[in-house]
Structure 1
Amino acid sequence: MTRRGDWSQLDESDVRVRPGKGTRPRSKRRPEHADAVAAMVVGKDRGRWTCAVDGDADRLLIAMRARELGRTPVVIGDHVDVVGDTSGEVDTLARIVRVSDRSSVLRRTADDTDAFERVVVANAARLLIVCSLSDPPPRTGFIDRCLVAAFAGGLQPTLCLTKADLADPADLLAKYAELDLPVVITRHDAEPAELRALIANEVSAMVGHSGVGKSTLVNRLVPSALRATGVVSAIGKGRHTSTSAVALPLPGGGWIVDTPGIRSFGLAHIEPKDIVAAFEEFVAPAEECPPGCGHLGNPADRGCVLDDVVKRGEATPGRLTSLRRLLASKAGVDETAPQD
């Protein structure tokens, strides 16, 4: 037997070596979470997500993002799988372990020079672009940019005009007549019955400048929402009243996602081809344009063939005008369409 402190009789076979990090191959297997339940993300607050199990507004739970997801973004409208305590009881916490592929995304950037995309809402079928006809006055630049984001993200854009008791919508509607947009007109002194019927049993996202009456509409559609409403400042711009996006259940079925009031809608992440794709009659001809053609019809776009499509009677002049207005809004060169 070796005496304590006498190491001369030991060799390497007598020494136990503790394995270091990395000596054991890391398994690539991940938990299957066969017991996970499906849910829809309807709210977020400081790293915790409120989820409706199976899209049921009466079965809410709070969940955190599982470590295995890393920094996978989870946004309002996402369809997720959750495990753990899914009872929804007070002080319980589940884990989001999977995020399903998205059928649509509403993205924006802070401005046209910001490369960082922000996914505002996922899986919405419709984008309600809320615009007041007066106080504050309508801003077509903002509408155009929302249209571009909807077309590129796979949402059905719908123009929702408020305060029709203060101004006639005819002039504004004429600007968008060629786009065949669904349009809903509301008044402060009447219930939004047409809007309620249009968005029933689907997920709709609502965007608009502060002060256009967006939160007032939400409160009428979802009386239990109690979203804050504000006033318009003396310079014609609204004050921010909604500070975070949230999905609210509609009484007759479906969800409305109320987003914070915004003053700009950056489109740095969108390419001109994404806009052209929304105009079926121009998609194939645009492929024949010279490389780098912006399709705007200016001298820099020498060789643009879109005008020939109109000359051949394959598209109306109004459709081409609408396309070019949206392209100009994306490019930031349309001075007649302010962004604010």
Structure 2
Amino acid sequence: MAAVKRIKLGSQGLEVSAQGLGCMGMSAFYGPPKPEPEMIKLIHHAVNSGVTFLDTSDIYGPFTNEILLGKALKGGVREKVELASKFGISFADGKREICGDPVYVRAACEASLKRLDLDCIDLYYQHRVDTRVPIEVTVGELKKLVEEGKIKYIGLSEASASTIRRAHAVHPITAVQLEWSLWVRDVEDEIIPTCRELGIGIVAYSPLGRGFLSSGPKLVETLTDNDFRKQLPRFQGKNLEHNITIFERVNEIAARKGCTPAQLALAWVHHQGDDVCPIPGTTKIENFNQNIGALSVNLTPEEMAELESFASADAVKGDRYGGASGTWREADTPPLSSWKTE
């Protein structure tokens, strides 16, 4: 297995493995939680393989994924990894709420540090933007956490271009996490260019289209009832029928290249530039090994163009999320002047 190269994420000095590991599915949302000993073994395997950029959040579980990571990082593993966690989504009284209030920001960070059993989180993202709180107020509190040594770098997830600019003016933003893959390309118009202009790293979540670009219709057939992908418009009815044709084309090119569709889809993300780090999630060591293989897949400009010809921004049918899930399209915040300090 070739060594996993390192890349610089953002302009503040954070260096990570060129591919990360999304840990959400180990504990939440994609069916029942997976056995803890197996997941710890997988995390250790990833780190030993050179994939050291690990991604979690307080909402995964909720809370159980951070506890899992805390256990996995014991015994000298912590020194080898770059750990990202997130705050900003809570399920108060069973209702989903986005919160960027400074008191909440601090409390969420303290609670995450306790669960992870750490003194400092390497990269701390606002998971979703609170459209009631000026972004300057939220980032102002994160800046204090940096000064206190509780976090090293600040990130945003699913933020609009104007929110990214305003946040970056308060304290340098190291990374923006967004969904980017062959079947989510709307970020390329405005968000990606804004990050590049400001020297902000790009972290691509769900680079395999939530697993669809790995196994296509087979994935949908095997989803358990408590897997939230079952509710997603892209996995339903006519949308799904249409989207299967995109998977078939990816599969065709992969066969021609002698790689798997997952490796091809991941390689496409890697070819977007050295400021991009995809974080595919998995719960199986064999899938992890396959994903790492994407780093050795080289695509010619012609192959990139061919992939993009049938996986264009408007080719995929169905919304990314059902209902209001707070994507970057609705992520502007009120002006700072509107904020009342008591």
TM-score (norm 1): 0.28
Larger Rg: 1
| Higher relative contact order structure (alpha carbons within 8 Å, sequence separation ≥ 6) | 2
Whose helix proportion is higher, 1 or 2? 2
Whose strand proportion is higher, 1 or 2? 1
TM-score (norm 2): 0.28
